Structure 1
Amino acid sequence: MALNYETLLCEVKDQVATVTLNRPQVLHALNAKVFNELEAVFVALAGDVGVRVILLTGAGEKAFAAGADINEIAKTDVATGEAKARRGQGVFRLIETCGKPVIACINGFALGGGCELAMACTMRLASETAKLGQPEVKLGLVPGYGGTQRLPRLVGQPMALKLLLTGEMIGAAEALRIGLVDEVVPAEKLMERAEALAKTIVSMAPLAVAACMEAVRWGSELGLEAALDVEAEIFGRLCGTDDKAEGTKAFLEKRAPIWVGR
Protein backbone atom coordinates (compact mmCIF):
# COMPACT_ATOMS: atom_id res chain seq x y z
CA MET A 1 0.00 0.00 0.00
CA ALA A 2 1.33 3.47 -0.87
CA LEU A 3 -0.34 6.85 -0.54
CA ASN A 4 1.19 9.88 -2.25
CA TYR A 5 0.79 13.55 -1.36
CA GLU A 6 2.49 16.74 -2.53
CA THR A 7 4.44 17.48 0.66
CA LEU A 8 4.85 14.04 2.20
CA LEU A 9 5.12 10.36 1.39
CA CYS A 10 3.29 7.48 3.03
CA GLU A 11 4.05 3.78 2.77
CA VAL A 12 2.59 0.86 4.71
CA LYS A 13 4.42 -2.42 5.15
CA ASP A 14 3.86 -5.22 7.67
CA GLN A 15 1.30 -3.13 9.59
CA VAL A 16 3.75 -0.23 10.01
CA ALA A 17 3.13 3.06 8.20
CA THR A 18 6.03 5.39 7.44
CA VAL A 19 5.07 9.04 6.91
CA THR A 20 7.92 11.12 5.50
CA LEU A 21 7.86 14.90 5.27
CA ASN A 22 9.13 15.69 1.79
CA ARG A 23 10.03 19.35 1.28
CA PRO A 24 13.83 19.00 1.42
CA GLN A 25 14.45 22.31 -0.35
CA VAL A 26 13.09 24.13 2.75
CA LEU A 27 14.09 21.49 5.32
CA HIS A 28 10.46 20.31 5.54
CA ALA A 29 9.15 23.64 6.85
CA LEU A 30 5.55 23.33 8.00
CA ASN A 31 3.21 25.40 5.85
CA ALA A 32 -0.56 25.26 5.42
CA LYS A 33 -0.31 22.54 2.77
CA VAL A 34 1.78 20.34 5.07
CA PHE A 35 -0.78 20.70 7.86
CA ASN A 36 -3.61 19.78 5.49
CA GLU A 37 -1.79 16.69 4.29
CA LEU A 38 -0.67 15.63 7.76
CA GLU A 39 -4.29 15.83 8.86
CA ALA A 40 -5.44 13.79 5.86
CA VAL A 41 -2.84 11.06 6.22
CA PHE A 42 -3.31 10.64 9.99
CA VAL A 43 -7.09 10.48 9.63
CA ALA A 44 -6.62 7.78 6.98
CA LEU A 45 -4.08 5.80 9.03
CA ALA A 46 -6.10 6.09 12.24
CA GLY A 47 -9.02 4.44 10.47
CA ASP A 48 -6.96 1.71 8.78
CA VAL A 49 -7.14 -1.54 10.76
CA GLY A 50 -4.14 -2.78 8.79
CA VAL A 51 -1.90 -0.14 10.40
CA ARG A 52 -0.69 -0.73 13.94
CA VAL A 53 2.27 1.69 14.32
CA ILE A 54 3.20 4.91 12.53
CA LEU A 55 6.76 6.17 11.96
CA LEU A 56 7.16 9.89 11.23
CA THR A 57 10.35 11.34 9.76
CA GLY A 58 11.80 13.80 7.26
CA ALA A 59 13.33 12.93 3.90
CA GLY A 60 17.11 12.99 3.75
CA GLU A 61 19.56 13.50 6.59
CA LYS A 62 19.39 17.26 7.20
CA ALA A 63 16.05 17.71 8.93
CA PHE A 64 13.05 16.15 10.60
CA ALA A 65 11.29 19.52 10.25
CA ALA A 66 13.13 22.81 10.60
CA GLY A 67 10.05 24.70 11.83
CA ALA A 68 7.10 26.69 10.62
CA ASP A 69 7.16 28.42 7.26
CA ILE A 70 8.46 31.89 8.21
CA ASN A 71 7.08 33.43 5.02
CA GLU A 72 3.58 32.52 6.20
CA ILE A 73 4.24 33.59 9.79
CA ALA A 74 5.54 37.00 8.67
CA LYS A 75 2.17 37.80 7.07
CA THR A 76 0.02 37.07 10.14
CA ASP A 77 -1.82 39.56 12.33
CA VAL A 78 -3.64 39.03 15.64
CA ALA A 79 -6.56 37.12 14.16
CA THR A 80 -4.72 35.11 11.52
CA GLY A 81 -1.91 34.33 13.96
CA GLU A 82 -4.29 32.84 16.51
CA ALA A 83 -6.05 30.90 13.77
CA LYS A 84 -2.72 29.51 12.54
CA ALA A 85 -1.77 28.44 16.07
CA ARG A 86 -5.12 26.73 16.59
CA ARG A 87 -4.80 24.95 13.26
CA GLY A 88 -1.36 23.59 14.15
CA GLN A 89 -2.52 22.62 17.63
CA GLY A 90 -5.47 20.76 16.16
CA VAL A 91 -3.39 18.74 13.72
CA PHE A 92 -0.77 17.88 16.35
CA ARG A 93 -3.51 16.88 18.81
CA LEU A 94 -4.90 14.57 16.12
CA ILE A 95 -1.49 12.92 15.86
CA GLU A 96 -1.22 12.66 19.63
CA THR A 97 -4.66 11.07 20.03
CA CYS A 98 -4.94 8.99 16.84
CA GLY A 99 -5.04 5.80 18.93
CA LYS A 100 -1.90 4.28 17.42
CA PRO A 101 1.72 4.66 18.55
CA VAL A 102 3.51 7.34 16.54
CA ILE A 103 7.31 7.22 16.67
CA ALA A 104 9.15 10.39 15.68
CA CYS A 105 12.39 9.49 13.90
CA ILE A 106 14.36 12.72 14.30
CA ASN A 107 17.05 13.01 11.67
CA GLY A 108 18.79 16.40 11.76
CA PHE A 109 16.98 19.60 12.70
CA ALA A 110 13.74 19.56 14.73
CA LEU A 111 13.27 23.22 15.53
CA GLY A 112 10.23 25.32 16.40
CA GLY A 113 7.19 23.67 14.89
CA GLY A 114 9.32 20.65 14.03
CA CYS A 115 10.19 20.13 17.68
CA GLU A 116 6.52 20.61 18.57
CA LEU A 117 5.58 17.98 15.99
CA ALA A 118 8.05 15.53 17.52
CA MET A 119 6.68 16.21 21.01
CA ALA A 120 3.15 15.38 19.82
CA CYS A 121 4.33 11.87 18.94
CA THR A 122 4.12 8.93 21.33
CA MET A 123 7.89 8.56 21.54
CA ARG A 124 10.98 10.11 20.01
CA LEU A 125 14.07 8.46 18.56
CA ALA A 126 16.90 10.76 17.52
CA SER A 127 19.98 10.32 15.39
CA GLU A 128 23.29 11.37 16.89
CA THR A 129 23.26 14.37 14.54
CA ALA A 130 19.82 15.63 15.61
CA LYS A 131 19.39 19.22 16.82
CA LEU A 132 16.30 20.29 18.74
CA GLY A 133 15.00 23.58 20.07
CA GLN A 134 12.23 26.15 20.36
CA PRO A 135 13.76 29.39 18.97
CA GLU A 136 10.50 31.34 18.64
CA VAL A 137 11.63 34.09 21.04
CA LYS A 138 14.18 35.07 18.40
CA LEU A 139 11.22 35.97 16.17
CA GLY A 140 9.31 37.81 18.87
CA LEU A 141 6.97 34.87 19.33
CA VAL A 142 6.19 31.89 21.56
CA PRO A 143 5.70 28.32 20.30
CA GLY A 144 2.16 28.17 19.00
CA TYR A 145 1.61 24.48 18.25
CA GLY A 146 1.71 23.16 21.82
CA GLY A 147 5.38 23.69 22.65
CA THR A 148 4.80 25.74 25.81
CA GLN A 149 2.61 22.92 27.15
CA ARG A 150 4.25 19.67 26.03
CA LEU A 151 7.84 20.73 26.67
CA PRO A 152 7.35 21.28 30.45
CA ARG A 153 5.47 17.99 30.66
CA LEU A 154 8.43 16.19 29.12
CA VAL A 155 11.45 17.89 30.69
CA GLY A 156 10.06 19.81 33.68
CA GLN A 157 9.22 23.49 34.00
CA PRO A 158 12.70 24.92 34.81
CA MET A 159 14.43 23.18 31.90
CA ALA A 160 11.55 24.00 29.57
CA LEU A 161 11.76 27.67 30.49
CA LYS A 162 15.51 27.63 29.93
CA LEU A 163 15.00 26.36 26.39
CA LEU A 164 12.02 28.61 25.68
CA LEU A 165 13.56 31.82 27.03
CA THR A 166 16.97 31.39 25.42
CA GLY A 167 15.89 29.82 22.14
CA GLU A 168 18.85 27.49 22.61
CA MET A 169 19.37 24.62 20.18
CA ILE A 170 20.57 21.42 21.83
CA GLY A 171 22.10 18.23 20.49
CA ALA A 172 20.77 14.72 20.72
CA ALA A 173 22.82 13.75 23.77
CA GLU A 174 21.50 16.70 25.79
CA ALA A 175 17.97 16.06 24.55
CA LEU A 176 18.28 12.49 25.84
CA ARG A 177 19.68 13.64 29.18
CA ILE A 178 16.75 15.96 29.87
CA GLY A 179 14.10 13.56 28.58
CA LEU A 180 13.15 15.34 25.37
CA VAL A 181 14.01 12.23 23.34
CA ASP A 182 13.85 8.59 24.40
CA GLU A 183 16.76 7.07 22.49
CA VAL A 184 19.76 8.24 20.46
CA VAL A 185 21.19 6.02 17.73
CA PRO A 186 23.69 6.46 14.90
CA ALA A 187 22.11 8.23 11.93
CA GLU A 188 22.46 5.21 9.67
CA LYS A 189 20.64 3.04 12.23
CA LEU A 190 17.73 5.40 12.97
CA MET A 191 15.05 3.85 10.79
CA GLU A 192 16.30 0.33 11.47
CA ARG A 193 15.87 0.88 15.21
CA ALA A 194 12.47 2.52 14.73
CA GLU A 195 11.27 -0.37 12.60
CA ALA A 196 12.48 -2.88 15.20
CA LEU A 197 10.63 -1.01 17.95
CA ALA A 198 7.52 -0.86 15.77
CA LYS A 199 7.76 -4.60 15.09
CA THR A 200 7.84 -5.28 18.83
CA ILE A 201 4.73 -3.14 19.38
CA VAL A 202 2.93 -4.82 16.46
CA SER A 203 3.46 -8.18 18.19
CA MET A 204 1.49 -7.00 21.22
CA ALA A 205 -2.29 -7.04 21.69
CA PRO A 206 -3.64 -4.09 19.66
CA LEU A 207 -6.46 -3.19 22.05
CA ALA A 208 -4.04 -3.25 24.98
CA VAL A 209 -1.56 -1.00 23.15
CA ALA A 210 -4.28 1.54 22.43
CA ALA A 211 -5.57 1.28 26.00
CA CYS A 212 -2.11 1.90 27.49
CA MET A 213 -1.85 5.13 25.51
CA GLU A 214 -5.38 6.14 26.49
CA ALA A 215 -4.73 5.56 30.19
CA VAL A 216 -1.42 7.44 30.18
CA ARG A 217 -2.94 10.36 28.27
CA TRP A 218 -5.79 10.68 30.75
CA GLY A 219 -3.30 10.40 33.59
CA SER A 220 -1.43 13.43 32.30
CA GLU A 221 -4.63 15.47 32.11
CA LEU A 222 -6.49 14.42 35.28
CA GLY A 223 -5.76 14.31 38.99
CA LEU A 224 -4.53 11.00 40.41
CA GLU A 225 -7.84 9.80 41.86
CA ALA A 226 -9.76 10.48 38.64
CA ALA A 227 -6.99 8.91 36.57
CA LEU A 228 -7.04 5.76 38.71
CA ASP A 229 -10.77 5.50 38.06
CA VAL A 230 -10.08 5.68 34.33
CA GLU A 231 -7.40 3.00 34.63
CA ALA A 232 -9.78 0.65 36.45
CA GLU A 233 -12.48 1.19 33.81
CA ILE A 234 -10.03 0.48 30.99
CA PHE A 235 -8.70 -2.63 32.77
CA GLY A 236 -12.25 -3.92 33.18
CA ARG A 237 -13.08 -3.16 29.57
CA LEU A 238 -10.09 -5.21 28.37
CA CYS A 239 -11.06 -8.10 30.63
CA GLY A 240 -14.12 -8.60 28.43
CA THR A 241 -12.19 -8.87 25.16
CA ASP A 242 -11.30 -11.88 23.04
CA ASP A 243 -7.67 -10.74 23.10
CA LYS A 244 -7.52 -10.94 26.90
CA ALA A 245 -8.96 -14.46 26.78
CA GLU A 246 -6.46 -15.43 24.10
CA GLY A 247 -3.52 -13.76 25.86
CA THR A 248 -4.09 -15.50 29.18
CA LYS A 249 -4.85 -18.83 27.50
CA ALA A 250 -1.70 -18.63 25.37
CA PHE A 251 0.40 -17.80 28.44
CA LEU A 252 -0.92 -20.79 30.36
CA GLU A 253 -0.43 -23.03 27.31
CA LYS A 254 3.11 -21.68 26.79
CA ARG A 255 2.54 -20.58 23.18
CA ALA A 256 2.49 -17.35 21.22
CA PRO A 257 -0.90 -15.57 21.25
CA ILE A 258 -2.89 -14.89 18.10
CA TRP A 259 -4.46 -11.45 18.41
CA VAL A 260 -7.78 -10.64 16.75
CA GLY A 261 -8.22 -7.06 17.95
CA ARG A 262 -11.55 -7.52 19.66
Structure 2
Amino acid sequence: MSYENITTTQKERVHYITVNRPKQLNALNKATIQELHEALKSAEADENTRVVILTGSGEKAFVAGADIKEFADFDTENGKQLAAEGQKKLFDFIENLSKPVIAAVNGFALGGGLELAMASHIRIASDNAKLGLPEVSLGVIPGYGGTQRLSQLVGRGKAMELITTAGMISASDAQNWGLVNHVVPQEELMALAEKIALKICNNSGNAIKSAIKAVNANYQASVNGYEVEVAEFGNCFGTPEFIEGTTAFIEKRKPKFK
Protein backbone atom coordinates (compact mmCIF):
# COMPACT_ATOMS: atom_id res chain seq x y z
CA MET A 1 0.00 0.00 0.00
CA SER A 2 1.29 3.46 -0.90
CA TYR A 3 1.14 6.42 1.49
CA GLU A 4 1.55 10.17 1.13
CA ASN A 5 2.56 11.13 4.67
CA ILE A 6 4.46 8.09 5.95
CA THR A 7 6.87 5.49 4.65
CA THR A 8 7.04 1.83 5.62
CA THR A 9 9.77 -0.76 5.30
CA GLN A 10 10.01 -4.41 6.33
CA LYS A 11 13.41 -5.77 7.37
CA GLU A 12 13.25 -9.40 8.44
CA ARG A 13 10.78 -9.45 11.36
CA VAL A 14 10.87 -5.71 12.09
CA HIS A 15 8.44 -3.25 10.49
CA TYR A 16 9.61 0.35 10.20
CA ILE A 17 7.09 3.20 10.04
CA THR A 18 8.37 6.75 9.46
CA VAL A 19 6.25 9.89 9.61
CA ASN A 20 7.41 11.71 6.49
CA ARG A 21 6.33 15.35 6.51
CA PRO A 22 9.70 17.07 7.04
CA LYS A 23 8.54 20.52 5.88
CA GLN A 24 5.87 20.42 8.63
CA LEU A 25 8.33 18.88 11.13
CA ASN A 26 6.28 15.69 10.75
CA ALA A 27 3.21 17.27 12.38
CA LEU A 28 0.16 15.05 12.64
CA ASN A 29 -2.94 15.79 10.60
CA LYS A 30 -6.02 13.65 10.00
CA ALA A 31 -4.56 12.07 6.88
CA THR A 32 -1.34 11.11 8.67
CA ILE A 33 -3.26 9.64 11.62
CA GLN A 34 -5.32 7.56 9.19
CA GLU A 35 -2.22 6.34 7.35
CA LEU A 36 -0.50 5.44 10.61
CA HIS A 37 -3.60 3.48 11.63
CA GLU A 38 -3.59 1.57 8.35
CA ALA A 39 0.15 0.83 8.54
CA LEU A 40 -0.10 -0.39 12.13
CA LYS A 41 -3.16 -2.47 11.32
CA SER A 42 -1.23 -4.09 8.47
CA ALA A 43 1.76 -4.79 10.73
CA GLU A 44 -0.56 -6.33 13.32
CA ALA A 45 -1.98 -8.72 10.72
CA ASP A 46 1.39 -9.64 9.19
CA GLU A 47 2.65 -12.94 10.59
CA ASN A 48 6.22 -12.00 9.61
CA THR A 49 6.19 -8.84 11.75
CA ARG A 50 7.17 -9.18 15.39
CA VAL A 51 8.10 -5.59 16.30
CA VAL A 52 7.33 -2.10 14.95
CA ILE A 53 9.83 0.76 15.06
CA LEU A 54 8.16 4.17 14.77
CA THR A 55 10.15 7.32 13.99
CA GLY A 56 10.12 10.62 12.12
CA SER A 57 11.96 11.63 8.97
CA GLY A 58 14.99 13.89 9.15
CA GLU A 59 16.99 14.92 12.18
CA LYS A 60 14.88 17.81 13.50
CA ALA A 61 11.69 16.15 14.65
CA PHE A 62 10.06 12.89 15.61
CA VAL A 63 6.64 14.58 15.46
CA ALA A 64 6.44 18.26 16.41
CA GLY A 65 2.78 18.25 17.40
CA ALA A 66 -0.52 18.33 15.58
CA ASP A 67 -1.31 20.38 12.48
CA ILE A 68 -2.92 23.38 14.21
CA LYS A 69 -4.27 24.87 10.98
CA GLU A 70 -6.53 21.85 10.64
CA PHE A 71 -8.56 22.56 13.79
CA ALA A 72 -8.10 26.28 14.49
CA ASP A 73 -11.76 27.03 13.65
CA PHE A 74 -13.31 24.03 15.47
CA ASP A 75 -16.11 24.44 18.00
CA THR A 76 -16.71 22.40 21.17
CA GLU A 77 -18.30 19.39 19.48
CA ASN A 78 -15.72 19.34 16.69
CA GLY A 79 -12.98 19.36 19.33
CA LYS A 80 -14.48 16.45 21.25
CA GLN A 81 -14.87 14.45 18.06
CA LEU A 82 -11.27 15.19 17.01
CA ALA A 83 -9.89 13.89 20.30
CA ALA A 84 -12.18 10.84 20.48
CA GLU A 85 -11.49 9.73 16.92
CA GLY A 86 -7.75 10.28 17.23
CA GLN A 87 -7.50 8.36 20.48
CA LYS A 88 -9.45 5.40 19.12
CA LYS A 89 -7.83 5.30 15.68
CA LEU A 90 -4.19 5.77 16.65
CA PHE A 91 -3.12 6.32 20.24
CA ASP A 92 -5.23 3.67 21.99
CA PHE A 93 -4.71 1.45 18.95
CA ILE A 94 -0.92 1.58 19.41
CA GLU A 95 -1.11 0.99 23.15
CA ASN A 96 -3.21 -2.14 22.67
CA LEU A 97 -1.33 -3.50 19.66
CA SER A 98 -0.28 -7.10 20.31
CA LYS A 99 3.19 -6.43 18.90
CA PRO A 100 5.58 -4.05 20.69
CA VAL A 101 5.99 -0.59 19.20
CA ILE A 102 9.34 1.12 19.80
CA ALA A 103 9.29 4.91 19.42
CA ALA A 104 12.67 6.16 18.22
CA VAL A 105 12.39 9.83 19.17
CA ASN A 106 14.69 11.93 17.01
CA GLY A 107 14.47 15.66 17.76
CA PHE A 108 11.26 17.39 18.78
CA ALA A 109 8.43 15.31 20.27
CA LEU A 110 5.82 17.89 21.17
CA GLY A 111 2.08 17.74 21.75
CA GLY A 112 0.67 14.93 19.64
CA GLY A 113 4.22 13.79 18.96
CA LEU A 114 4.94 13.15 22.62
CA GLU A 115 1.51 11.56 22.96
CA LEU A 116 2.42 9.25 20.06
CA ALA A 117 5.66 8.27 21.79
CA MET A 118 3.89 7.73 25.13
CA ALA A 119 1.33 5.44 23.50
CA SER A 120 4.20 3.27 22.25
CA HIS A 121 5.43 0.44 24.43
CA ILE A 122 9.11 1.45 24.54
CA ARG A 123 10.67 4.89 24.05
CA ILE A 124 14.27 5.75 23.21
CA ALA A 125 15.50 9.23 22.37
CA SER A 126 18.38 10.95 20.63
CA ASP A 127 20.43 13.24 22.87
CA ASN A 128 19.14 16.31 21.00
CA ALA A 129 15.47 15.43 21.60
CA LYS A 130 13.13 17.92 23.21
CA LEU A 131 9.87 16.69 24.71
CA GLY A 132 6.81 18.58 25.89
CA LEU A 133 3.07 19.16 25.86
CA PRO A 134 2.62 22.86 24.95
CA GLU A 135 -1.14 22.74 24.36
CA VAL A 136 -2.14 25.11 27.17
CA SER A 137 -0.20 27.88 25.42
CA LEU A 138 -2.75 27.48 22.60
CA GLY A 139 -5.77 27.55 24.88
CA VAL A 140 -6.41 23.79 24.85
CA ILE A 141 -5.12 20.72 26.70
CA PRO A 142 -3.50 17.53 25.40
CA GLY A 143 -6.32 15.60 23.76
CA TYR A 144 -4.70 12.39 22.56
CA GLY A 145 -4.18 10.79 25.97
CA GLY A 146 -1.39 13.10 27.13
CA THR A 147 -2.90 14.06 30.48
CA GLN A 148 -3.37 10.39 31.35
CA ARG A 149 -0.24 8.68 30.03
CA LEU A 150 2.21 11.36 31.16
CA SER A 151 1.05 11.12 34.77
CA GLN A 152 1.22 7.32 34.58
CA LEU A 153 4.81 7.48 33.36
CA VAL A 154 6.32 10.30 35.42
CA GLY A 155 3.89 10.85 38.30
CA ARG A 156 1.26 13.47 38.97
CA GLY A 157 3.53 16.30 40.11
CA LYS A 158 5.93 16.24 37.18
CA ALA A 159 3.04 15.78 34.73
CA MET A 160 1.27 18.82 36.17
CA GLU A 161 4.42 20.90 35.88
CA LEU A 162 5.17 19.95 32.29
CA ILE A 163 1.57 20.41 31.14
CA THR A 164 0.77 23.66 32.96
CA THR A 165 4.05 25.40 32.08
CA ALA A 166 3.83 24.28 28.43
CA GLY A 167 7.55 23.72 28.73
CA MET A 168 10.01 21.35 27.11
CA ILE A 169 12.49 19.02 28.75
CA SER A 170 15.72 17.58 27.43
CA ALA A 171 16.27 13.96 26.57
CA SER A 172 18.42 13.47 29.67
CA ASP A 173 15.70 14.94 31.91
CA ALA A 174 13.13 12.73 30.17
CA GLN A 175 15.24 9.70 31.00
CA ASN A 176 15.65 10.81 34.62
CA TRP A 177 11.87 11.27 34.85
CA GLY A 178 11.23 7.79 33.44
CA LEU A 179 9.64 9.18 30.29
CA VAL A 180 12.14 7.48 27.97
CA ASN A 181 14.09 4.27 28.49
CA HIS A 182 17.37 5.21 26.81
CA VAL A 183 19.20 8.27 25.42
CA VAL A 184 21.88 7.92 22.76
CA PRO A 185 23.58 10.12 20.15
CA GLN A 186 21.33 10.62 17.16
CA GLU A 187 23.51 8.53 14.87
CA GLU A 188 23.09 5.58 17.24
CA LEU A 189 19.32 5.89 17.70
CA MET A 190 18.10 3.44 15.08
CA ALA A 191 20.85 0.94 15.90
CA LEU A 192 19.66 0.79 19.50
CA ALA A 193 16.01 0.51 18.41
CA GLU A 194 16.97 -2.41 16.18
CA LYS A 195 19.01 -4.05 18.95
CA ILE A 196 16.02 -3.96 21.28
CA ALA A 197 13.71 -5.15 18.50
CA LEU A 198 15.91 -8.16 17.74
CA LYS A 199 15.97 -9.13 21.42
CA ILE A 200 12.16 -9.06 21.39
CA CYS A 201 12.08 -11.16 18.23
CA ASN A 202 13.94 -13.96 20.00
CA ASN A 203 11.06 -14.44 22.44
CA SER A 204 7.58 -15.89 22.24
CA GLY A 205 5.20 -13.69 20.28
CA ASN A 206 2.18 -15.17 22.03
CA ALA A 207 3.70 -14.56 25.45
CA ILE A 208 4.56 -10.97 24.51
CA LYS A 209 0.98 -10.41 23.35
CA SER A 210 -0.28 -11.68 26.71
CA ALA A 211 2.26 -9.56 28.60
CA ILE A 212 1.14 -6.38 26.82
CA LYS A 213 -2.48 -7.15 27.64
CA ALA A 214 -1.70 -7.82 31.29
CA VAL A 215 0.47 -4.73 31.80
CA ASN A 216 -2.13 -2.48 30.12
CA ALA A 217 -4.86 -3.91 32.36
CA ASN A 218 -3.26 -2.21 35.36
CA TYR A 219 -4.18 1.19 33.87
CA GLN A 220 -7.76 0.39 32.87
CA ALA A 221 -10.60 1.51 35.11
CA SER A 222 -12.68 -1.26 36.68
CA VAL A 223 -10.23 -3.93 35.47
CA ASN A 224 -8.35 -6.14 37.91
CA GLY A 225 -4.87 -6.45 36.44
CA TYR A 226 -4.01 -9.43 38.62
CA GLU A 227 -7.00 -11.34 37.27
CA VAL A 228 -5.97 -10.54 33.70
CA GLU A 229 -2.44 -11.70 34.49
CA VAL A 230 -3.74 -15.01 35.85
CA ALA A 231 -5.91 -15.55 32.77
CA GLU A 232 -3.14 -14.69 30.32
CA PHE A 233 -0.64 -16.81 32.25
CA GLY A 234 -2.97 -19.76 31.84
CA ASN A 235 -3.56 -19.02 28.17
CA CYS A 236 0.18 -19.30 27.52
CA PHE A 237 0.09 -22.95 28.56
CA GLY A 238 -2.15 -23.73 25.59
CA THR A 239 0.33 -22.54 22.96
CA PRO A 240 2.97 -24.45 20.97
CA GLU A 241 5.44 -21.75 22.01
CA PHE A 242 5.08 -22.77 25.66
CA ILE A 243 5.94 -26.36 24.72
CA GLU A 244 8.93 -25.22 22.66
CA GLY A 245 10.17 -22.79 25.32
CA THR A 246 10.00 -25.25 28.21
CA THR A 247 11.38 -28.11 26.11
CA ALA A 248 14.32 -25.98 24.98
CA PHE A 249 15.05 -25.03 28.60
CA ILE A 250 15.05 -28.68 29.70
CA GLU A 251 17.20 -29.65 26.72
CA LYS A 252 19.58 -26.75 27.42
CA ARG A 253 19.22 -25.15 23.99
CA LYS A 254 17.83 -21.91 22.62
CA PRO A 255 14.14 -22.04 21.73
CA LYS A 256 13.05 -21.73 18.12
CA PHE A 257 9.77 -19.87 18.13
CA LYS A 258 7.79 -19.79 14.89
Per the TM superposition, whether the score is higher than 0.5 is yes
Number of the residue aligned with 1:36: 34
Query: In the aligned structure 1, how far is the partner of 2:137 from the partner of 2:233?
Result: 46
Query: Residue 47 in 1 paired to residue 48 in 2?
Result: no
Aligned-pair distance for 1:233? Answer: 1.1
Number of the residue aligned with 2:7: 9
1:201-237 per-residue CA deviation (whole Å, 9 max, x = no partner) reads 001011011111111011222579x221211111111
**Cα root mean square deviation, aligned:** 1.1
> SS at the partner of 2:71?
helix
Runs of 4 or more consecutive aligned structure 1 residues displaced over 3 Å after TM superposition: none
Query: In the aligned structure 1, how far is the partner of 2:2 from the partner of 2:94?
Result: 19
1:96-145 per-residue CA deviation (whole Å, 9 max, x = no partner) reads 11111000000000000101011000010000000000000100110011
1:2-50 per-residue CA deviation (whole Å, 9 max, x = no partner) reads x531000000111100000000001001011101101111111111111
Number of the residue aligned with 2:111: 112
Aligned-pair distance for 1:258? Answer: 1.3
Aligned-pair distance for 1:73? Answer: 2.3
Query: In the aligned structure 2, how far is the partner of 1:149 from the partner of 1:75?
Result: 26
Number of the residue aligned with 1:171: 170
Query: In the aligned structure 2, how far is the partner of 1:181 from the partner of 1:27?
Result: 21
- TM-score of the superposed pair, with normalisation by structure 1: 0.96
Query: In the aligned structure 1, how far is the partner of 2:12 from the partner of 2:170?
Result: 32
Task: Note closer, same or farther for the CA distance 1:135–1:211 as it changes in structure 2 (3 Å cut).
Answer: same
> SS at the partner of 2:218?
helix
Query: In the aligned structure 1, how far is the partner of 2:50 from the partner of 2:31?
Result: 26
Query: Residue 211 in 1 paired to residue 210 in 2?
Result: yes
Structure 2: unaligned runs, 5 residues or longer: none
Query: In the aligned structure 2, how far is the partner of 1:222 from the partner of 1:77?
Result: 29
Number of the residue aligned with 1:65: 63
> SS at the partner of 2:157?
helix
Query: In the aligned structure 2, how far is the partner of 1:197 from the partner of 1:227?
Result: 26
Number of the residue aligned with 1:246: 244
One-letter identity of the residue aligned with 1:13: K
1:80 to 78, 83, 95: 78
- TM-score of the superposed pair, with normalisation by structure 2: 0.97
